[in-house]
Amino acid sequence: MVARVSTVSFQGIEAVPVDVQVMIAPGKVGMHIVGLPDKAVAESRERVQAALHASGLALPAKKVTVNLAPADLPKEGSHFDLPIALGLMAALGAIPGDALDGYVVLGELSLDGTIASVAGALPAAIGANALGKGLICPSASGPEAAWAGQDIDIIAPRSLIAIANHFRGTQVLARPVPAMRAAPLNMPDINEIKGQETAKRALEVAAAGGHNLIRLCCT
């Protein structure tokens, strides 16, 4: 049996559909991720296994193959963690496989099974809406994704256990509302920078006029 979960790969701000295919079969024990994954995606193997274990779900002693299709499209970023984990949970029967059919999924996993925020929630939500699907994203990214429109179904869990309970019907996750991310209270002060008067002046002018800045690092 092959479990399938939809996610996206970002090309600039464009969300390109990616099909995450998960198969558990007899063979050499281990998880293999194929489909041009970068280092962050390849490391999903360790995060996903730890998060599933922390959530009370152990992988069987079998070969797990994860294919990220299309295979010729480079895959970058940690947001593939959650779709891979949900694909495994569907393959193991922990959640209904058809429950994921109507959603695009993205999110980074912590080792304790919680879901960390990722960049690109709004483009992903717009892309999901264009495909006629909803979005499953981290709780911290939900308010950003909600700006895509009121007609898109958005589920924003805090953990793998929360999303499993949602699909089992034992816990209902409310749709997030659009909101701006609050600025941290302990932001650094430019007055703390000693010297660098020209650079500080450039920052002040850019901030006062609402201009963009580009940083060039020379070695």
Report if residue 219 sits inside a domain. Answer: no
- CATH number for the domain including 144? 3.30.230.10
Does residue 206 sit within a domain?
no
Q: Is residue 109 part of a domain?
A: yes
Residue 79 within a domain? yes
| pLDDT for the residue 207 | 86
Query: How confident is the model at residue 217, as a pLDDT?
Result: 64
Concatenating the DSSP letter of every residue in 67-91 gives EEESTTS-B-SGGGHHHHHHHHHHH
What pLDDT is attached to residue 216? 72
166 φ, ψ (degrees, to nearest 5): -65, -45
Instruction: Assess if residue 214 is contained within a domain.
Output: no
- Can you give the pTM of this predicted structure? 0.83
Q: Is residue 216 part of a domain?
A: no
Kind and range of the H or E run holding 168? helix 160-168
Residue 185, in any domain of the structure: no
Domain span at 83: 2-168
Q: How many domains does the chain have?
A: 1
Using 50 as the pLDDT threshold, list the residues of the chain that sit under it.
none
Burial class for 63, CB neighbours closer than 10 Å (0-12, 13-18, 19+): middle
Q: In this predicted structure, what is the pLDDT of residue 212?
A: 84
Q: What is the pLDDT of residue 209?
A: 87
User: Is 62 within a domain?
Assistant: yes
